[in-house]
Amino acid sequence: MKPVNLNQFRKQKARAENRARADANAAKFGRSKAEKARDAAEADAAARRLDGHRRDDE
């Protein structure tokens, strides 16, 4: 049986966990500039549509 360097094993495990966490965050939060712009445009259009249906009962 080959001896194992526990420090290297610990660091490899930490790197793998960090990589997995980074991949999860990229999937959860990572959006391109085009996607963010599209969402902002959709929100703006929805706000304008809502304001267009507002009644002015003063």
Alpha-carbon distance 6 to 28, whole Å? 33
Alpha-carbon distance 3 to 29, whole Å? 41
How sure is the predictor about 58, in pLDDT bands with cuts at 50, 70 and 90? low
Asked whether the predicted pLDDT for residue 57 surpasses 80, the reply is no
Asked whether the predicted pLDDT for residue 14 surpasses 70, the reply is yes
Going by C-beta distance under 8 Å and a sequence separation of 6 or more, which residues neighbour residue 31? 39
Going by C-beta distance under 8 Å and a sequence separation of 6 or more, which residues neighbour residue 39? 31
Query: What pLDDT digit, counting tens, does each position of 15-47 carry?
Result: 999 999 999 998 888 888 899 899 999 999 999
Asked whether the predicted pLDDT for residue 3 surpasses 70, the reply is yes
Asked whether the predicted pLDDT for residue 4 surpasses 70, the reply is yes
